[in-house]
Amino acid sequence: MTVYKVGYLIGSLAKGSINRKLAKALVNLAPDELSMAEIPFKDLPLYSYDYDADFPPPAKAFKEALAGIEAVLFVTPEYNRSIPGGLKNAIDWASRPYGHNSFTRKPSTVIGTSPGSIGTALAQQSLRGVLGFCNSPQMNSIEAYIQFKPGLITDEGEVTELRTEEFLRDYMIQFHNFITRVYTALA
C-alpha cells in the first residue's frame, strides 16, 4: 500500500474557523493511504521578491514543509469573492523564487465551507486559476461547497450529519484516487 503525504492549508487564520473544523473532519475521514499534516502559514511576512535571494526563517520552514509532501488539500473560506489574503500570500511564497515553485506537478484539491449554500464557489474558482498557473494538477471533480450549519461539525472534527459525513469520506477517497492517477501518469 502506497501512503501519500498530504499537506493541508486552511485559508482562514481564525482559530475558531468553520473551515478549520472542516479540515479536521477531512483528516478524520481520510483513507489510511493518506498521511495528513497541516502546513501553517500565519507567520509568513508579506511576500516581496526582495526576499528571493534569502528567505526569512518562516518562509524557509514553509517551503521545507511543502517539499516534504506529495499532494495539497486547500480548505478555504471566501473573502470578498476571492481567497483570503493570507492564503494568497502563502501561495506567492511557495511559488518563489522563480524556478522553485513548490506546487509544480503536485496534485491538489480545493474545498470550503460557508453558511451560504455555495459561499466558497468564487473563492474556489479564484484559487483554481492560481493553482493552474502554478502547474498543480487539480482534482476538478468532485467540486465541494459545504453549507455549514451550527453543529454540523464539532470542534474535534466529528461530522454530525450522516449524508455530509459520507460525502466528505468519499471526497477524500476520490482525492486519494486522483493522487494515484497523477503519480501514475507522471511515472
- 3-state class of 38 per DSSP? strand
Residue 154: partners with Cβ closer than 8 Å, 6 or more residues away? 21, 160
Q: In what order do the strands lie in the sheet with 4-10?
A: 34-38, 4-10, 71-75, 108-114, 145-147
Name the pTM for this structure: 0.97
Cell of 40: 501553517
Share the mean pLDDT of the chain: 96
- In angstroms and rounded to an integer, the radius of gyration of the C-alpha atoms of the chain is 16
Percentage of the chain beyond pLDDT 90 is 94
Percent of the chain with pLDDT over 70: 100
- Residues 106-120 have a mean pLDDT of 94
Tens-place pLDDT, residues 37-60: 999 999 999 999 999 999 999 999
Q: Is 25 exposed, middle or buried (0-12, 13-18, 19+ CB in 10 A)?
A: buried
- Check residue 1 and give its pLDDT: 82
Residue 29 has pLDDT above 90, yes or no: yes
Helix/strand/coil percentages in the chain, nearest 5: 40, 15, 45
What pLDDT score does 142 carry?
Answer: 86
pLDDT, average across residues 74-87? 96
